[in-house]
Amino acid sequence: MVSRVVVPLDGSILSETVLPYARQLAVGLKARVLLLRVVEPSPQETQKHLTAESLAKSSAAARAEAEQYLQKVEQYLKGANCSTTTKVVQGVPAVEIIGEADGTPDSVIAMSTHGKSGLARWLIGSVADKVLHYAASPVLLIRPKPHSPIAEPALKAIVVPLDGSTVAEEVFPHVVALAKAMNLAVHLARITPSVTDYYKWTVPNSVPVDYTEIMKEVDADAEAYLAATAARLAKQGVKSVQSHSGHGDAASAIIDLVSETPDSFVAMTTRGRSGMARALLGSVADRVVRHCGEPVFLVRPA
């Protein structure tokens, strides 16, 4: 399913935190890696005060520096027998990254949520945010951890949030391919509203409803759905499938499950029951991306 991993780098240590994951992904899927460096043009205000010759020399120097940098990074990946190429382009980073990935079928973008702009606990870096919102290709996002060295990942499990919709299930082809190629366990998660949530949504002064009976039906449906889904994945060759159900806030429950599952990452679609909007992430996916401490593999529904 994935034949190429596009890895955007800006020369910073933060952007390089994705490299061990990209390497493991490429080796497991037998995919080739493209290391991409986007050189931004000089600001227009600067261009006004420089000659054409000076601008050309500046641009050439920036490209040479970028190519030299990528060649060094390439050595790291070649040590794991990755098929690796490098590419330097000039332009707007998010635009060039999306164009490169979406222009070649079966590509996945693997990148850090932050680069040169640094870290902010409540925000994604602007480039990653734009790529996440507008790229048609799947995106693997890695959130850098401040003051920690780049560690070799030992990915062993995928947590797959589901809401019962066919849209959420569009992540399955990628999950099956990843699980089989990398020998990963799959943890299916179905989180439904709690009794408190149901009462919270009740219109004031309406006829009282005993939601405990409704909850029993909801739980039974969730368990049946998870069992049927696990059986489907097993038939497709996934060796280990576990199911998890719960109540309450979906994003929080997913983040908790990932933190409790050693060496795991999340794989989910960007939209679920609430439908799709090209410029917006689903609220659950958005919160998982922003607050989960482990990698998140996101697939935009067709």
Q: Highest-confidence range of 21-30, 189-198, 200-209, by mean pLDDT?
A: 21-30
Shared-domain flag, residues 138 and 199: no
Q: Which of 26, 28, 36, 29 is nearest to 6 (CA)?
A: 36
Q: What is the mean pLDDT of residues 240-264?
A: 94
- Report if residue 211 sits inside a domain: yes
β strands within the chain, DSSP E: 4-9, 32-39, 84-90, 107-112, 139-142, 157-162, 185-192, 241-247, 264-269, 296-299
Same domain, 50 and 130: yes
**Do 97 and 195 fall into the same domain?**
no
Given 79, 112, 142, the domain boundary residue is 142
Whether residue 298 lies inside any domain: the answer is no
Q: Whole domain around residue 21: which residue ranges?
A: 4-142
Residues 115 and 23 in one domain: yes
Q: What is the mean pLDDT of residues 89-115?
A: 92
Is residue 53 in some structural domain?
yes
Judge whether residue 53 has pLDDT over 70. Answer: no
Are 128 and 242 in a shared domain?
no
Range name among 3-17, 18-32, 44-58, 251-265 with the lowest pLDDT average:
44-58
Domain count across the chain: 2
Do 125 and 29 share a structural domain?
Answer: yes
| Domain identity same for 251 and 189 | yes
pTM of the model: 0.88
pLDDT at residue 86 above 50?
yes
pLDDT above 90: percentage of residues in the chain: 55
Amino acid 58: pLDDT: 66
Residues 6 or more apart whose CB falls under 8 angstroms from that of 100 comprise 6, 34, 36, 87, 89, 107
Same domain, 199 and 115: no
Residue-wise pLDDT for 147-167, tens only, equals 555 667 789 999 999 999 999
Tell which of 82, 108, 142 closes a domain. 142
Residue ending a domain, among 116, 142, 168, is: 142
Verify that 138 and 162 share a domain, yes or no.
no
Confidence of residue 118 (pLDDT cuts 50, 70, 90): low
132 shares a domain with 81: yes
User: Domain of 283: which CATH number?
Assistant: 3.40.50.620
Task: Judge if 126 and 190 occupy the same domain.
Answer: no
Indicate if the pLDDT at residue 252 is higher than 60: yes
Please, what is the average pLDDT of the chain?
85
Residues 138 and 169 in one domain: no
